[in-house]
């Protein structure tokens, strides 16, 4: 494929969340011999109706995207009518398509504004390394698809990329097949299925492993309702005419989330960037997923809340506390159970309950009995790998700090426990990749910088408890 003549156009998607594959416009594209001329004419009519309805739906989708606030309601109404007609035509086509071995055309649901409508082939053909190489050299002639996808996202977000935007399709799905030149298969020695970048990121996030709620594809500021006080229960007598004299309505406020720009970088050898290898592609994505996850974990657990840093669990005022000692203390089994008790006492012991500890604490728990001299059972139960501490899932992350101080104590560790479903990780937009060929120029390395808009919020601080002075 001559990429210099590459003229793909990213299809516009409607605000209602539909994207479209190209529709065959010629009769030949759908024809096969039929025994009856009437059937052939009927099929031709259905193809014409189908194509007309598809074009009308695409036009209506564009109208919704371009509509002013005053015209939006009318444009959406026309879109719904066009969509209903298209669905009718699609249903009529399905039976004939199956008979002729033509795959029926089906709209694909889209909820993320950073989904630009790449086909499966385009998704496979997209190369993060090729885009990095193009930005490094300033020559995008061999990266037309990557440049066009980034430009489309920038247009939708009304935001200029610091480097280039990576479509959500690429973060969600990567698959390249050897031997298929159309999908860059000639560059691959064996079949390789690249992992989803978003899944790589989620698997790296300790807080998500513990059950945190992950919200992606956000736009604008987010407000999440939260009940802060329950209504009051009263008994009403049947004969003494007693009445409720005090208000009993629950009170509600909002937890807000706003984008915070987080950055991470990795240094890669210049010669490696010049390689056309899916292994290099996977290595770059793995490195970026790892460092972004470490940053998000740190903010979610211990972010100070001082701009531009999000406010993590440790900085929430209503989080339960278990204290070891004046200068810190080695955690006891009573401390471990006390974290659970603090959450339960606030009626918050439900959902995704888990501990998060660092590697030092795990080592201590594995080598310390629950009750000194009276028990051979260690605090960390190796016989129960899914719930090794106090019957709960336990995640290990060195983003849990081990350098805290208290009075004369130093090198103290945190231990977290709680319902991590009440910890929310929000992600706006898509990855913005910058290439810095200068910082490591004398060492022959290229710095790849990834920027992502993220925020962290806690729905209820009472859902968590923390020990901040563990000597391990």
Give the integer Cα–Cα distance in Å for 79 and 84.
Answer: 9
| Residue 128 · residue 174 · CB < 8 Å | no
As a whole number of angstroms, the distance between CA 353 and CA 452 comes to 28
Best CA proximity match to 255, nearest among 78, 52, 423, 403: 423
Can you point out the beta strands (E) in 147-212? 164-165
Tokens of 312: 């993590």
**Dist CA 317 CA 299 (whole Å):** 16
CA gyration radius, the chain: 28
In the numeric block, the tokens 């005022």 are attached to 317
Q: What is the pLDDT of residue 52?
A: 77
Whether the bond into 267 is cis, omega within 30 of 0: no
E-strand spans in 123-203? 164-165
The shares of helix, strand and coil residues in the chain, as percent rounded to the nearest 5, are 40, 25, 40
Handedness of CA 25, 27, 32, 34 (dihedral sign): positive
* Rounded Cα distance, 163 and 435, in Å: 7
Query: What is the pLDDT at residue 250?
Result: 65
Q: Are strands 409-419 and 108-109 parallel, antiparallel or unpaired?
A: unpaired
As a whole number of angstroms, the distance between CA 116 and CA 21 comes to 12
Q: Which two tokens stand for residue 257?
A: 């989330």
pLDDT at 238: 60
Contact 399, 298 (CB under 8 A): yes
Distance CA 23, CA 43 (A): 15
Report DSSP letters for 370-383, one per residue. SSTTT---BSB-TT
Given a contact cutoff of 8 angstroms between Cβ atoms, the answer to whether 472 and 331 are in contact is yes
List the structure tokens of 111: 């909820």
- What is residue 99's predicted lDDT score, i.e. its pLDDT? 46
- pLDDT, one tens digit for every residue, the chain (472 residues): 444 334 333 333 333 344 333 333 333 333 333 333 344 445 556 667 767 777 777 777 777 777 777 787 787 778 778 777 877 777 766 655 444 433 333 333 444 566 778 888 888 888 888 999 999 999 999 999 999 999 998 988 888 898 999 887 777 654 333 343 333 333 333 333 344 555 556 556 789 889 999 888 788 888 887 766 666 666 766 655 555 555 556 667 788 899 999 988 888 888 888 876 677 777 787 788 778 888 889 999 999 999 999 999 999 989 999 999 999 999 999 999 999 999 999 999 988 899 999 999 999 999 999 987 766 799 999 999 999 999 999 999 999 999 999 999 999 999 999 999 999 999 888 889 999 988 988 888 999 998 989 999 999 999 999 999 999 9
């Amino acid at each position: 494929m001559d990429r210099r003549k590459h003229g793909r156009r990213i299809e516009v998607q409607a605000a209602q969340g539909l994207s479209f594959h190209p529709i065959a416009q010629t009769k030949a594209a759908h024809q096969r011999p039929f025994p009856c001329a009437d059937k052939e004419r009927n099929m031709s009519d259905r193809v014409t109706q189908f194509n007309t309805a598809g074009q009308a739906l695409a036009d209506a989708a564009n109208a919704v995207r371009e509509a002013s606030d005053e015209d939006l309601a009318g444009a959406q109404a026309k879109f719904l009518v066009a969509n209903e007609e298209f669905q009718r035509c699609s249903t009529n086509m399905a039976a004939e398509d199956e008979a002729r071995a033509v795959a029926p055309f089906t709209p694909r649901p889209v909820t993320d504004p950073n989904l630009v409508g790449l086909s499966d082939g385009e998704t496979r053909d997209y190369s993060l390394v090729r885009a990095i190489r193009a930005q490094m050299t300033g020559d995008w002639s061999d990266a037309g698809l990557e440049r066009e996808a980034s430009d489309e996202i920038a247009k939708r977000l009304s935001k200029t990329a610091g480097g280039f935007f990576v479509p959500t399709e690429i973060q969600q799905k990567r698959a390249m097949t050897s031997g298929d030149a159309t999908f860059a298969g000639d560059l691959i020695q064996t079949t390789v299925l690249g992992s989803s970048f978003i899944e790589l990121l989620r698997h790296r996030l300790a807080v998500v492993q513990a059950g945190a709620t992950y919200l992606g594809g956000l736009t604008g500021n987010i407000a999440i309702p939260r009940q802060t006080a329950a209504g009051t229960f009263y008994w009403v007598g049947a004969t003494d005419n007693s009445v409720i004299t005090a208000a009993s309505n629950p009170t509600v406020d909002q937890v807000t989330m706003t984008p915070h720009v987080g950055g991470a970088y990795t240094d890669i050898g210049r010669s490696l960037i010049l390689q056309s290898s899916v292994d290099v592609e996977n290595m770059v994505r793995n490195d970026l997923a790892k460092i972004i996850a470490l940053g998000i974990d740190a903010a979610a657990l211990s972010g100070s809340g001082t701009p531009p840093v999000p406010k993590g669990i440790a900085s929430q005022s209503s989080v339960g506390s278990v204290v070891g000692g004046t200068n810190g203390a080695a955690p006891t089994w009573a401390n471990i159970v006390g974290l659970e008790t603090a959450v339960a006492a606030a009626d918050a012991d439900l959902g995704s309950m888990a501990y998060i500890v660092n590697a030092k604490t795990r080592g201590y728990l594995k080598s310390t009995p629950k009750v000194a001299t009276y028990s051979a059972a260690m605090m960390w139960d190796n016989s129960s790998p899914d719930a090794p501490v106090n019957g709960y899932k336990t995640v290990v992350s060195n983003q849990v700090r081990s350098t805290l101080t208290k009075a004369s104590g130093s090198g103290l560790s945190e231990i977290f426990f709680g319902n991590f479903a009440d910890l929310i990780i929000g992600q706006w937009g898509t990855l913005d990749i910058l290439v810095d060929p200068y910082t490591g120029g004398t060492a022959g390395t290229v710095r790849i910088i990834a920027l992502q808009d993220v925020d962290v919020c806690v729905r209820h601080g009472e859902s968590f408890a923390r020990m901040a002075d563990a000597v391990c």
